[in-house]
Amino acid sequence: MTRFFAAIAMIMTAFSAQANNVTTYTLDNGMEVVVIEDNRAPVVTHMLWYKIGSADEPVGASGVAHFLEHLLFKGTDVLEPGEFSATVAANGGTDNAFTSYDYTAYFQRVASDRLELMMQMESNRMNNLRITASDVETERQVVLEERNQRTENSPNALAREQFRAALFQNHRYGVPIIGWKHEMEQLDLQDALDFYDLYYSPNNAILVVAGDVKPDEVLALAETYYGVIPAETQLPARERPEEPPQRAERRITYVDQRVSQPYLVRSYLAPERDPGAQTEAAALVYLAELLGGSPFTSALGQALQFDTQTAIYTNASYGGASLDDTTFDFAIVPSEGVSLSEAEAAMDEVIDAFMEGAIDPERLDSIRAQLRASEIYALDNIDGLARRYGAALTQSLTVADVQAWPQVLQSVTEQDIKDVATKVLNRDQAVTGWVVANQEEAR
């Protein structure tokens, strides 16, 4: 009994320590600032997140958000092309950027006493980009090669594109982040600049600084470098097309001779974490674990990989971090000699049995314990914490939501899980995809 008590006390300490280490400010121009203090190593991660991603792109210009991300490494009024990264490297740091459906983010990881230089350069490229037509030509080739590498050379990635395009009937989550190839080929300087001028603004940005820093010093630097940039008065409200009621199951077979092994996936439309309302999302985290988390203990793993040899791989997954509706996904790789239709039927049997049966309380306790521990392990990775806050704040969540999330997860009940499963696991709102090397395998 005593030991149990001690364990709880320790975990509470870890939680409150985390909350205490996070400080937030809002600058007068509307820019949000989040500081996460961790003094274990003399390192800082400086991240600037823009609340603009591929799902905000104008029709016909898919890929422009990501293309612009590449162009930000070209010159500004005071930085030569490539000088930004070269300067970071010359200070012993590394830098890069990434684009997703809901955000575009730039980051540097350097010795903490170099933070000011990073802010100076990052704030400079918020408004002062100087791109030439030849930069655009070369960099368009680079992003097309990136698409080649990530997508065109990968049958799995091409299949995923097809499935997402079918799942989202109205929302831009159905368009690939990197862009459709034929639209990427047409992206020009003006497309990129239009996007840049409007959306790269302090009132559309979140600064996250994590590491060996003092919050008040970060705030002072942020005021100096970002605080002087005027807010964009024309910044439009972030309104996106919503999904209509989805009324019919969709089924797709993707055939590509480079597929080595037939498999199937099913994606259901699912709710995301919403401000002040994260319970459904938390219940979906449990649902994914229970149905297809660990192959050894989940319902699908046990039934298809242990009790029978129907599959060599099973998985269910859910990522609740999203601005709009997200997905709940299954994947099954059948065993040798098992057809896709047999594997799919076996998967649906497991799902049906789960809906009808009770949930083992020991499994729930085990998942709760793992989620609690994952918060402790997360403290070891300061970059991961920075990303957690940055992504959430671009996806309409607040710092309070991020900090409440572990507790919301701990409070999930069996009823919450059953309720959300009934709502989400509706095949009228789902795409089932088969991926095969030839038509003969599609049976």
Residues known to be catalytic: 69
> At 33, phi and psi to the nearest 5?
-130, 130
Contact pick of 239, 242, 336, 440 for another protein (by CB under 8 A): 336
234 vs 257, beta carbon nearer another protein:
257
Count of chain residues binding another protein (CB under 8 A): 71
The answer to whether the beta carbons of residues 71 and 136 sit under 8 Å apart is: yes
112 vs 395, beta carbon nearer another protein:
112
Contact pick of 125, 140, 171, 387 for another protein (by CB under 8 A): 140
Contact pick of 23, 85, 253, 398 for another protein (by CB under 8 A): 85
Residue 180 engages another protein in binding (rule: CB under 8 A): no
Contact pick of 58, 78, 80, 94 for another protein (by CB under 8 A): 94
Contact pick of 104, 112, 279, 315 for another protein (by CB under 8 A): 112
Give the Å distances, CA to CA, from 400 to 24, 149, 153, 392, 407: 11, 39, 42, 11, 11
277 vs 373, beta carbon nearer another protein:
373
Q: Could you give the CA distance from residue 253 to residue 219 in angstroms, rounded to a whole number?
A: 53
Q: Could you give the CA distance from residue 114 to residue 91 in angstroms, rounded to a whole number?
A: 8
CB of 214 to another protein, least distance (A): 16
Query: What x-and-dash track marks residues 239-268 binding another protein by CB under 8 A?
Result: ------------------xxxxx-------
Residue 182 engages another protein in binding (rule: CB under 8 A): no
149 vs 413, beta carbon nearer another protein:
149
Residue 369 engages another protein in binding (rule: CB under 8 A): yes
The residue range among 48-56, 223-231, 289-297, 412-420 that interacts with another protein, by the rule CB under 8 A, is 289-297
Contacts for 166 with CB less than 8 Å, ≥ 6 apart = 174, 250, 252, 431
How many Cβ atoms sit within 10 Å of the Cβ of residue 216?
Answer: 11
Q: Could you give the CA distance from residue 291 to residue 384 in angstroms, rounded to a whole number?
A: 26
Contacts for 55 with CB less than 8 Å, ≥ 6 apart = 101, 102, 171, 172, 173, 175, 240, 323, 324
The residue range among 235-243, 247-255, 314-322, 365-373 that interacts with another protein, by the rule CB under 8 A, is 365-373
Contact pick of 26, 132, 153, 426 for another protein (by CB under 8 A): 153
Contact pick of 26, 149, 224, 415 for another protein (by CB under 8 A): 149
Q: Which of 93, 160, 174, 77 is nearest to 126 (CA)?
A: 77
2 vs 233, beta carbon nearer another protein:
2
Contacts for 269 with CB less than 8 Å, ≥ 6 apart = 167, 243, 246, 325, 327, 328, 424, 429, 430
366 vs 403, beta carbon nearer another protein:
366
Calculate the CA 432 to chain-centre distance: 22
If DSSP codes are grouped into helix, strand and coil, which group holds residue 53? coil
Residue 91 engages another protein in binding (rule: CB under 8 A): yes
Residue 379 engages another protein in binding (rule: CB under 8 A): yes
Task: Considering only residues 197 through 236, tell me which ones interact with another protein, judged by CB under 8 A.
Answer: none
Q: What is the largest CA-CA distance in the chain?
A: 70
Residue 382 engages another protein in binding (rule: CB under 8 A): yes
CB of 66 to another protein, least distance (A): 12
Task: Considering only residues 12 through 51, tell me which ones interact with another protein, judged by CB under 8 A.
Answer: 14, 40-43
216 vs 365, beta carbon nearer another protein:
365
The DSSP call for residue 63 is T
Task: Considering only residues 395 through 414, tell me which ones interact with another protein, judged by CB under 8 A.
Answer: none
Task: Considering only residues 297 through 316, tell me which ones interact with another protein, judged by CB under 8 A.
Answer: 297, 302, 305-306, 309, 312-313
Beta-bridge partner residues of 364: none
Q: Exposure string (b/e) for 16-50, b if CB count within 10 Å is 16 or more? A: eebeebbbbbebebebbbbbbbbeeeebbbbbbbb
Q: Where are the beta strands (DSSP E) in 84-135?
A: 94-99, 104-111
CB of 160 to another protein, least distance (A): 16
Residue 2 engages another protein in binding (rule: CB under 8 A): no
Residue 345 engages another protein in binding (rule: CB under 8 A): no
Contact pick of 98, 373, 407, 426 for another protein (by CB under 8 A): 373
Contact pick of 63, 75, 93, 179 for another protein (by CB under 8 A): 93
The answer to whether the beta carbons of residues 212 and 41 sit under 8 Å apart is: yes
The answer to whether the beta carbons of residues 272 and 326 sit under 8 Å apart is: yes
